[in-house]
């Protein structure tokens, strides 16, 4: 190949652009020795078609300038044309891509060094790309100590490498004016290590879009890398590392964190359009910073009217970037599942904060108070509940109380195992308040622990957590806030401590959708499938038909426990139900008294399971079997909340063609039907379009045209709607969220009427006009989640490892107070001498 060196040298504008003749001659000899023809065109900067067949698919990358190219398979590296003076490109970006591809083939990384703009057209006309090891590292020992502690980050070792490539614009082409090939350091030869070089760690654009999708479902960077490893075949083939994914995902949250509250309010408005019953309330301080938030969606408000008989409330931490405690209201549906009935964020956990939250909850639920509520042992929470829900039965979480007493009682219980067993037995299986009081007093006398102040503290709290005090209250299948704790555990798989509130809200709505889908799954199981009966009792067959599937399984467990008891007639209609052998799970070793009235079909057991859980207990069923009354379940023992709702009050889920003519679908239903149809159609197209790059390019072409046409159609409809609204006057411009026509008072009235959320300031009055001045909350200092990761004991007090004296081995004292250390010998005479001097 002939190169016009004279033209190249004449066009150089400064001594830096001069290429040594020997270097140029060496490049000419190299090019002439090449066995392949080099096509110098702007678009041909990659490997040949034959090379593509050998090396597989190449993925373009926009990282590090947006022009890198990373290979998906290491099986065969492409033959890359070595740059040479006179080589031409259509743009400096293409020159960088080619040099970076060459650098990966050789085993080094590149970076942009300097550039220059033309004095004529002010456009870039010269670029210099150098090896990443160019320059020198500063002498750390000679640097001044930084004013603040810096991160201990690794630094690239620079060797003042002179390898570089310079391109210059002449006309419409970019020419290589200098190329230095030699490096003064070893290059990376192992293919699996080349992906760690900085300029070759780009994430391709298509994969960045895919990572955005995975980020929306809150997958961690490690999980994302595992998915990409499956796509690439193995982790070593992925052309970037977990840190790159983590850094990219961090950039996705930056816009949300900068304007969090405005985005959150926009999400509220968006949800309000599809769900008119959506309710939200916000409280701000004097500086217009948010300090309290509450929201609840329409389906939850409707569900609360049915499931207001039991509520679990608790606060949790590390769910948002402001460290604001998250306070969900959790209910129990007809399937025994936990459901969300609203949630809030609080700046502090004081009485007034909980009062505000509970009042917002009542406002959303039309003033309907919960019948029963269970919370953790928090004084501010208890005071707020007694003030806001005066008629509700408030119960404390037994688990939290036991954990608080475990450190102080565990050692005492370790010394007296009989005391520990009796203590837990009294709390578990005392059926009445009088029985608890009597057995507790007997325990204190029997074990001589009347002076134990910790046991006295437990006794003082008895009315807030001991089951005997709540045996007639409806707390189905729970003694703790496990419903809230379980929901919090699930929620924290969707959110992270650094997430914004708008991100939290989106994940919250996804979790709400997941709960609705789970309900649909249970409903389908009820309609399409059945279970094998455990026995032959007719009432069990009735239970399958009337109860939901999860509730029937709990009822069937009671039927199985019937075989663990004998029923003995005491007198009249009184029966003693006695365990046959040992202990029965959930009921202990004790016997139970059941009163049967066959005429009225009532069976009253002292365990009160029918009142506590809404199901007949195994003791009542045992007496029913004894008297031959197992033909059916008495109707007054079948709670409607555990049944499937009648067909006449259930909205039928039908397809569009089957919708009756007299029934109109809601906006949300029509949107979901159209969305599902389009998703199925586009999925079929995507399967064909993903077969090759050519078919994908065709799909991209028509998708772009479709997108443009839909945008223009939307703008046209908005313009027509706006023109139509102007004729009516004083109407809302839905395209921009503003109001057209009318005076300022009319605008303010319209805003107040159409506001999708309730703004409350320090004075407690609504002020929707201040919505644009609302500011993000500040970071809250809260008690937070405990740092201890060790698993703790459950509902019972357990014995801890007794403290022993390391000197004599006694459990009655420690080494500090060991009698063996106390000497009885007389004091030395020297001590007496100095004492006499004093």
Over residues 388-417, the mean pLDDT reads: 86
Residues 63-98: tens digit of each pLDDT: 333 433 333 334 444 567 899 999 999 999 999 999
Q: What is the pLDDT of residue 329?
A: 93
Query: Where is pLDDT greater, at 689 or 789?
Result: 689
| CB neighbour burial string for 368-379, b if at least 16 within 10 angstroms, e if fewer | ebbebbbbbbbe
Query: Where is pLDDT greater, at 25 or 434?
Result: 434
Query: Where is pLDDT greater, at 504 or 437?
Result: 437
Q: What is the pLDDT of residue 637?
A: 93
Residues 135-163: tens digit of each pLDDT: 988 876 676 666 666 666 778 889 999 99
Nearest by Cα to 197 from 231, 239, 163: 239
Extract the tokens encoding 617: 């207990």
Q: What is the pLDDT of residue 723?
A: 84
Q: What is the pLDDT of residue 145?
A: 65
Residues 623-638: tens digit of each pLDDT: 999 999 999 999 999 9
Residues 160-179: tens digit of each pLDDT: 999 999 999 998 899 999 99
The overall average pLDDT reported for the chain is: 76
Residues 6+ apart with CB under 8 A from 619: 565, 577, 587, 592, 594, 605, 607
**Rounded to the nearest 10 degrees, what angle do helices 433-447 and 417-429 cross at?**
170
Q: What is the pLDDT of residue 304?
A: 93
Residues 535-547: tens digit of each pLDDT: 889 999 999 989 9
- Label residue 793 by pLDDT band (50, 70, 90): low
Residues 6+ apart with CB under 8 A from 456: none
Over residues 598-606, the mean pLDDT reads: 91
- Label residue 255 by pLDDT band (50, 70, 90): low
Taken in order 802, 806, 807, 809, the sign of the CA dihedral is positive
- Full-model pTM: 0.65
Answer yes or no: is pLDDT of 530 > 80.
no
- Label residue 517 by pLDDT band (50, 70, 90): confident
Query: Where is pLDDT greater, at 522 or 63?
Result: 522
Residues 8-59: tens digit of each pLDDT: 333 334 434 433 433 433 433 333 333 333 333 333 333 333 333 223 333 3
Answer yes or no: is pLDDT of 109 > 60.
yes
Q: What is the pLDDT of residue 700?
A: 87
**Which of 310-319, 339-348, 462-471, 595-604 is predicted with the least confidence, judged by mean pLDDT?**
310-319
The kind and range of the H/E element at 151 are none
H helices present in 416-529, as ranges: 417-429, 433-447, 453-460, 462-465, 482-491, 501-528
Q: What is the pLDDT of residue 405?
A: 85
**CA of 205: how far to CAs of 62, 209, 253, 708, 780, in Å?**
6, 6, 18, 21, 38
């Amino acid at each position: 190949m002939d190169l016009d060196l004279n033209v190249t040298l004449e066009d150089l504008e400064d001594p830096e652009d001069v290429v040594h003749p020997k270097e140029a001659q060496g490049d000419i000899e190299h090019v002439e020795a090449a066995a392949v023809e080099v096509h110098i065109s702007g678009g041909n900067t990659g490997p040949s078609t034959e090379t593509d067949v050998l090396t597989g698919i190449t993925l373009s990358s926009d990282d590090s300038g947006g022009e890198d190219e990373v290979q998906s398979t290491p099986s065969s590296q492409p033959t890359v044309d070595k740059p040479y003076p006179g080589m031409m490109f259509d743009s400096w970006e293409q020159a960088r891509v080619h040099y970076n591809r060459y650098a990966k083939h050789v085993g080094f990384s590149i970076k942009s060094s300097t550039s220059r703009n033309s004095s004529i057209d002010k456009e870039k006309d010269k670029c210099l790309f150098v090896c990443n090891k160019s320059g020198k590292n500063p002498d750390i020992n000679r640097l001044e100590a930084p004013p603040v502690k810096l991160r201990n980050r690794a630094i690239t070792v620079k060797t003042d490498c002179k390898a570089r490539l310079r391109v210059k614009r002449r006309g419409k082409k970019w020419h290589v004016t200098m190329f230095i090939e030699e490096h003064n350091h070893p290059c990376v030869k192992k293919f699996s290590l080349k992906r760690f070089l900085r300029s070759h760690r780009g994430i391709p654009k298509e994969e960045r879009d895919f990572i955005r999708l995975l980020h929306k479902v809150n997958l961690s960077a490690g999980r994302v890398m595992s998915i990409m490893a499956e796509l690439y075949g193995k982790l070593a083939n992925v052309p970037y590392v977990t840190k790159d994914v983590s850094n990219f995902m961090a950039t996705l949250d930056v816009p949300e964190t900068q304007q969090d509250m405005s985005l959150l309010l926009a999400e509220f408005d968006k949800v309000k359009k599809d769900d008119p019953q959506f309710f939200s309330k916000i409280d701000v301080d004097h500086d217009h910073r948010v300090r309290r938030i509450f929201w609840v969606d329409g389906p939850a408000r409707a569900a609360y009217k049915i499931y207001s008989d039991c509520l679990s409330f608790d606060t949790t931490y590390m769910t948002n970037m402001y460290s604001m405690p998250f306070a969900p209201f959790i209910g129990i549906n007809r399937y025994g599942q936990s459901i969300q009935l609203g949630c809030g964020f609080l700046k502090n956990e004081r009485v007034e904060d909980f009062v505000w939250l509970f009042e917002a909850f009542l406002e959303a639920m039309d003033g309907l108070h919960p019948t029963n509520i269970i919370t953790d042992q928090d004084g501010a929470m208890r005071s707020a509940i007694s003030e806001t829900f005066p008629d509700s039965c408030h119960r404390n979480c037994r688990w939290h109380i036991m954990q608080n007493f475990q450190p102080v009682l565990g050692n005492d219980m370790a010394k007296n195992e009989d005391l520990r067993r009796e203590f837990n037995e009294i709390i578990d299986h005392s059926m009445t308040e009088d029985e608890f009081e009597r057995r507790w007093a007997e325990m204190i006398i029997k074990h001589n622990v009347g002076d134990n102040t910790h046991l006295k503290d437990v006794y003082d709290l008895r009315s807030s957590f001991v089951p005997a005090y709540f045996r007639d209250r409806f707390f189905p299948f729970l003694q703790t806030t496990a419903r809230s704790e379980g929901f919090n555990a699930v929620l924290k798989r969707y959110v992270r401590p650094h997430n914004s509130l708008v991100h939290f809200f989106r994940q919250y709505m996804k979790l709400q959708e997941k709960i609705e889908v789970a309900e649909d799954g249970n409903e389908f199981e009820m309609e399409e499938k059945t279970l094998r009966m455990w026995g032959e009792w007719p009432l069990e067959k009735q239970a399958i038909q009337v109860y939901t599937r999860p509730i029937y399984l709990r009822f069937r467990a009671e039927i199985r426990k019937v075989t663990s008891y004998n029923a003995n007639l005491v007198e009249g209609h009184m029966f003693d139900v006695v365990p046959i052998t040992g202990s029965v799970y959930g009921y202990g070793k004790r016997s139970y008294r059941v009163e049967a009235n066959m005429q009225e079909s009532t069976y009253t057991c002292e365990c009160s399971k029918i009142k506590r859980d809404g199901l007949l207990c195994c003791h009542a069923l045992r007496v029913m079997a004894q008297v031959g009354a197992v033909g059916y379940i008495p109707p007054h023992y079948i709670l409607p909340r555990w049944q499937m709702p009648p067909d006449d009050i259930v909205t039928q889920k039908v397809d569009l063609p089957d919708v009756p003519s007299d029934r109109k679908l809601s906006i949300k239903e029509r949107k979901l039907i159209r969305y599902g149809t389009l998703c199925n159609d586009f999925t079929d197209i995507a399967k064909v379009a993903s077969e090759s790059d050519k078919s994908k390019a065709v799909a991209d072409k028509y998708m772009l045209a479709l997108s443009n046409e839909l945008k223009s159609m939307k703008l046209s409809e908005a313009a027509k709607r706006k023109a139509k609204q102007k004729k009516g006057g004083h109407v809302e411009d839905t395209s921009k969220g503003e109001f057209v026509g009318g005076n300022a008072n009319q605008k303010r009235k319209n805003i107040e009427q159409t506001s999708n959320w309730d703004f409350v300031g320090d004075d407690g009055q609504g002020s929707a006009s201040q919505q644009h001045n609302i500011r993000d909350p500040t970071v809250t200092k809260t008690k937070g989640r405990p740092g201890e990761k060790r698993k703790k004991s459950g509902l019972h007090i357990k014995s801890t490892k007794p403290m022993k004296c390391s000197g004599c081995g006694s459990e009655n004292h420690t080494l500090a107070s060991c009698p063996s250390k106390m000497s009885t010998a007389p004091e030395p005479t020297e001590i007496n001498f100095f004492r006499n001097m004093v």
